[in-house]
Amino acid sequence: MSERDEHEPMAADDSITESAAEPEAEPEPGREPDAQAEPEPDSPPEPQPDSQPAPKRRKRLRKTKITALVLVALLLVVTGSGAWYIHHTVDASFPQVSGTLTVPGLDGQVEVDRNAQGVPQIYAASSHDLFFTQGYVQAQDRFWQMDVYRHITAGRLSEMFGSSQLSTDEFIRTMGWYSIAQQEYSQLSPSTQASLLAYSAGVNAYLKDHTGAKASVEYAILGLQTSYTPYAWTPVDSIAWLKALAWDLRDNLQDEIDRSLSTQKLTTAQVDQLFPDYPSSHPDIVNQGAVADGAFDQNATPTASTASTVLPAGAVGAMSQLSTLIKDLPQTLSPEVQGVGSNSWVVSGSLTTTGQPLLANDPHLGPELPSIWYQMGLHCTTVDAACPYDVAGFTMPGTPGVVIGHTDTVAWGFTNGTEDVTDLVLEKVTGDTYLYDGRQVPLTEHKETIKVAGGDPVTITVRQTNQGPLVSDADTDLASVGKDAPVAPVSASASASASASASGDDAAPARGSAGYAVALRWTALTPTKTMDALFEVDQATDWNSFRAAAKDFAVPSQNMIYADTSGNIGYQTPGQIPIRKAGDGTWPVPGWTDAYEWTGYIPFDELPHELNPKAGFIVTANNPIISSSGYPYLLSKDFDYGYRANEITQRLTQATSNGGKIDADGMRAIEADTTNEFAETLVPYLESAPTASSTAADKALLANWNFTTPANSAAAAYFYEVYYYLLKDAFMSKLPSSVDVDGGDRWFTVVSDLLPDASSDWWSDPSAPSVHGRDALLGLAMDQAAQYLSQKYGSDASKWQWGDLHTLTPTNQTLGTGGPGIVKSFLNGDAIPVAGGSAVVDANGFDIAEGFDVNEVPSMRMVVDLSDLDHSTWVNLTGASGHVKDPNYLDQLPLWQNQKTLPWPFTRAAVLAATKNKLVLEP
Weakest-pLDDT range from 80-89, 140-149, 185-194, 751-760: 80-89
Residue 223 or 811, more confident: 811
Strand order in the sheet with 917-922: 99-102, 917-922, 110-114, 120-124, 374-380, 390-396, 399-406, 410-416, 558-564, 569-572, 609-611
* C-alpha separations of 331 from 40, 484, 504 in Å: 22, 30, 46
What is the average per-residue pLDDT within 883-905?
97
Q: Sort residue 629 into left (φ over 0), alpha (ψ -120 to 50) or beta.
A: alpha
**Vertex 130, ends 915 and 367: CA angle to 5°?**
70
H or E segment and range at residue 896: helix 893-897
What percent of the chain has a predicted confidence (pLDDT) above 70?
Answer: 81
pLDDT at 61: 34
Q: What is the mean pLDDT of the chain?
A: 84
pLDDT in tens, 631-650: 999 998 889 999 999 999 99
Mean pLDDT across the stretch 766-780?
Answer: 92
Q: Tell me, what's the pLDDT at 87?
A: 65
Cβ proximity of 754 and 762 under 8 Å: yes
The mean pLDDT of 493-500, rounded to a whole number, is: 35
> Residue 244: its pLDDT value, please?
84
- Residues 94, 210: Cα–Cα separation, whole Å: 11
Q: Say if CB 492 and CB 311 are below 8 A apart.
A: no
Residues 13-67: pLDDT tens digits? 333 333 333 333 333 333 333 433 333 333 333 333 333 333 333 333 333 333 3
What average pLDDT does range 724-742 have in this prediction? 91
CA dist 652 and 670 (Å) reads 8
Segment 82-86 shows an average pLDDT of: 56
How far apart are the C-alpha atoms of 519 and 598, rounded to whole Å? Answer: 14
What does the DSSP 8-state code read for residue 294? T
Beta strands 374-380 and 120-124: pairing type? parallel
Q: How far apart are alpha carbons 97 and 446 in whole angstroms?
A: 47
Is 90 exceeded by the pLDDT of residue 823?
no
> How many other CB atoms are there within 10 angstroms of residue 458's CB atom?
15
Residue 498 clears pLDDT 90, i.e. is over it: no
- pTM comes to 0.88
DSSP 8-state class, residue 761: T
Q: Are 99 and 166 in contact (CB under 8 A)?
A: no
Q: What's the length of the chain?
A: 923
CA distance 677 to 662: 22
Q: What is the pLDDT of residue 816?
A: 80
- Of the pLDDT bands very low, low, confident and very high (cuts 50, 70, 90), residue 765 is confident
Phi, psi (deg, nearest 5) at residue 890 = -135, 20
- Quick check: 76 pLDDT over 60? no
Burial 320-359 (b: 16+ CB within 10 A, else e): bbbbbbbbbbbbbbbbbbbbbbbbbbbbbbebbebebbbb
- Pure H helices in 176-319: 177-187, 190-208, 217-223, 235-248, 253-262, 268-274
Instruction: Among 70-74, 285-289, 456-460, name the one with the lowest average pLDDT.
Output: 70-74
Contact 859, 875 (CB under 8 A): no
pLDDT in tens, 275-292: 999 999 999 999 889 998
Q: Which pLDDT score, from 0 to 100, does residue 922 have?
A: 98
Q: Is the dihedral of CA 547, 552, 554, 558 positive or negative?
A: negative
Confidence at residue 305, expressed as pLDDT on a 0 to 100 scale: 61
Position 662 scores a pLDDT of 98
pLDDT band of 759, cuts 50, 70, 90: very high
Answer yes or no: is pLDDT of 796 > 50: yes
What pLDDT is stored for residue 514 in this prediction? Answer: 56
> Which residue type is seen at 321?
Q
Q: Which of 170, 62, 180 is CA-nearest to residue 449?
A: 170
Model confidence at 805: pLDDT above 50: yes
- Indicate if the pLDDT at residue 858 is higher than 80: yes
Q: Which residue has the higher pLDDT, 445 or 224?
A: 445
Say whether pLDDT at 71 is over 60: no
Q: For position 340, what pLDDT does the model report?
A: 59
Q: Are 655 and 329 in contact (CB under 8 A)?
A: no
Q: Is the pLDDT of residue 117 over 70?
A: yes
Residue 735: CA count within 13 A, CB half-sphere? 28
Report pLDDT digits (tens) over 325-362.
445 544 444 444 444 579 999 999 999 999 999 999 99
Q: Is 255 exposed, middle or buried (0-12, 13-18, 19+ CB in 10 A)?
A: buried
Residue 487: what pLDDT?
55
According to DSSP, residue 871 is labeled G
pLDDT-derived band at 133, boundaries 50, 70, 90? very high
pLDDT tens, position by position, 561-575? 999 999 999 999 998
pLDDT, mean of residues 502-525: 68
Task: Write down the pLDDT at residue 753.
Answer: 97
How far apart are alpha carbons 870 and 862 in whole angstroms? 13
Query: Coil, helix or strand for 345?
Result: strand
Q: What does residue 391 show for φ and ψ, rounded to 5 degrees?
A: -145, 150
pLDDT tens for each residue of 539-590: 999 999 999 999 999 988 889 999 999 999 999 999 899 999 988 888 778 8
Q: Which residues pair with 560 in a beta bridge?
A: 414, 572
- SS3 of 75, please? helix
Task: Determine the average pLDDT of the residues in 159-164.
Answer: 91
Is the pLDDT reported for residue 69 higher than 50?
A: no
Query: Which amino acid belongs to residue 769?
Result: P
**Does 716 have pLDDT greater than 80?**
yes
Lowest mean pLDDT among 161-165, 664-668, 842-846: 161-165
Distances in whole angstroms, Cα of residue 462 to Cα of each of 458, 867, 882: 13, 54, 36
Residue 67 DSSP code: P
The distance from CA 828 to its chain's CA centroid, rounded to whole angstroms, is 21
**What would the mean pLDDT of 265-283 be, rounded to a whole number?**
91
Nearest CA among 43, 62, 5 for reference residue 818: 62
Q: Report residue 514: phi and psi, to 5°.
A: -110, 15
* Angle between helix 530-537 and helix 190-208 axes, rounded to 10 deg: 90
Nearest by Cα to 702 from 680, 673, 675, 725? 680
The DSSP bridge partners found for residue 65 are 14
Q: pLDDT by residue (tens digit) across 469-487?
A: 998 888 443 333 344 444 5
Q: What sections of 755-820 are H helices per DSSP?
A: 774-793, 802-805
Question: Would you state the pLDDT for residue 785?
Answer: 98
